Amino acid sequence: MNRAMVARCLVLMALVLGGLHALVGCDDSGTVEGDEPSRLDKSCKTDADCGSNSQLACGVTAAGEHRCVASCASPSSGYVCIDGVPTSCEVAPAEHCKECGCPNALRCEVGVGCMPKRAAGESCAADSDCNTNNCCSFAGVCRVPYGSACTTLNCDLCLVASNWSFCTRRCGDESGVLGQRLL
């Protein structure tokens, strides 16, 4: 394309976009005409302070402040609803770890909070419960990490050769090391 054609395309695009802007009734502020101004992130004491829009509610932010945020009907990422109040996971009580998650080195104990991951030989319900990321699905016990040396006592599928062993999973089981399927 030469420069003249590019310039014509840009002019046509500006005209089309300008027409669409007028067609949907937008004013220069970016809000749709007739709507009340956005109250998102405004200070509040009750849901009514956030306007008549049921998509907003008076919630608790990461700073512990009461602000208009997305309601429990469609909560924002990083928020949990506690007694109908959208609350930032940063200030939510620890027992909400199922909804808010835990740091990588911890596991969620529902109703309790984030706890240290379990070591090989300790009980588990999922790989994420174990510091080895390997929970035996039928025995409910943490095993050694995939790819490490093993015995049949600490790994469900231990491949063994002379002076060598390797812990893995059967094909079709959950993903193994770094999300790759293992043999």
SS3 content of the chain, % helix, strand, coil (to 5): 20, 25, 55
84 phi-psi bin (left φ>0, alpha ψ -120 to 50, beta other): left
Predicted TM-score of the model (pTM): 0.56
User: According to the model, what pLDDT value does residue 49 have?
Assistant: 92
Chain segment 20-72, per-residue pLDDT in tens? 333 333 333 333 333 345 667 889 999 999 987 778 999 999 999 999 999 99
Domain spans in the chain, listed from the N-terminal domain onward? 37-116, 118-177
User: According to the model, what pLDDT value does residue 24 have?
Assistant: 35
User: According to the model, what pLDDT value does residue 38 have?
Assistant: 61
- Whether the per-residue pLDDT at 155 is higher than 80: the answer is yes
The pair of structure tokens assigned to 120 is: 């090989």
